[in-house]
Amino acid sequence: MLIEHLTPAIGSEIHGLDLSDGAAVAKHAQALRDALAERQVLFFRDQTLSPEAQVFFARTFGEVLPVASTFPVHPDNPYLELLISKGKKTGTDVWHADMTWQKQPPAATCLYAQDVPATGGDTMWASMASAFESLDPALQGYLAGMTAVHDWEAPELVRSLMGQENGAQRYQEMRREFPPIDQPVVLTHPVTGRKQLFVNSLYTTFINHMSRDESATWVAYLSGLAKIPEWQVRFKWRKGSVAVWDNIATQHYAVNDYHPSARRMHRVTIR
């Protein structure tokens, strides 16, 4: 197994590992966990994974729980969700981290490309640890201890949910199960000890103990640090590609430039 770093700040491609080979994955499990903690997103090419094999691989990085997002569940596997786009916006072409509106957001995510367009549809990731470390120490201290409100009801995701079978019922269930919650503005990573910003423009609606105008300015500034190229890596998907990323330390952006082509991805979230 070889590890190739793609940028100084974030992202590595792993060569020479068949993710459908459980014994090989188990042999390199600790090295993979260490690489993910250090590099924040890992990429694998030319993989062939059944739903069961993808879930097995995802367990390398932590506990896998049944799907609890707004996307459809795979009919044969309750741990795997379907990200399918057919000529329409999905609402993920904005910098964000996954499901930060949950009390315990996913620690990591495993995404597998089933079908991808010939061109377009890249995904970008940004290191929010590097973004935090770029701030003046006085500003870092000012942000420490602050909390912000996170809410899943972004307009794009509500539209996506309502367009699904039993969408209205699922919408009401989601509202009952996941009311808005407070999250720290700055998190300390449980493995590396690095501090990172935990604010994103999709789900962070308000920074507490500020006026509305002040909050809007700070949310825009802090979440916008993901847009700085030095903290980013960009990945071109091919059929059979896999990405695993640290959902605590990063934000990501699904580039929406491939419609009306269709794309199908399988996602497993890791707690």
Q: How far apart are CA 181 and CA 197, in angstroms?
A: 17
- Residue 64 DSSP class: B
Q: Is 267 a catalytic residue?
A: yes
- Write down the catalytic residue from 150, 263, 266, 267: 267
- Write down the catalytic residue from 74, 96, 194, 263: 96
Q: Is 136 a catalytic residue?
A: no
Q: Is 96 a catalytic residue?
A: yes
Q: Is 252 a catalytic residue?
A: yes
| Residue 161: Cβ-neighbour burial (10 angstroms; 0-12, 13-18, 19+) | buried
- Write down the catalytic residue from 74, 150, 194, 252: 252
| Residue 81: Cβ-neighbour burial (10 angstroms; 0-12, 13-18, 19+) | buried
**Could you tell me which residues come within 8 angstroms of residue 28 by beta carbon, excluding any fewer than 6 positions away?**
1, 17
Look-up: residue for tokens 């935090």?
A: 132
- Write down the catalytic residue from 39, 74, 98, 194: 98
User: Strands (DSSP E) along 156-249, which ranges?
Assistant: 181-184, 186-188, 195-197, 204-207, 232-235, 242-246
The verdict on whether omega for the bond into residue 260 sits within 30 degrees of 0, i.e. cis, is yes
Q: Is the dihedral of CA 99, 141, 210, 214 positive or negative?
A: negative
Look-up: residue for tokens 């909050």?
A: 215
Q: How far apart are CA 67 and CA 110, in angstroms?
A: 13
Q: How far apart are CA 155 and CA 5, in angstroms?
A: 36
The SS3 assignment for 225 reads helix
φ/ψ of 27, rounded to 5, equals -60, -40
Positions marked active-site: 96, 98, 252, 267
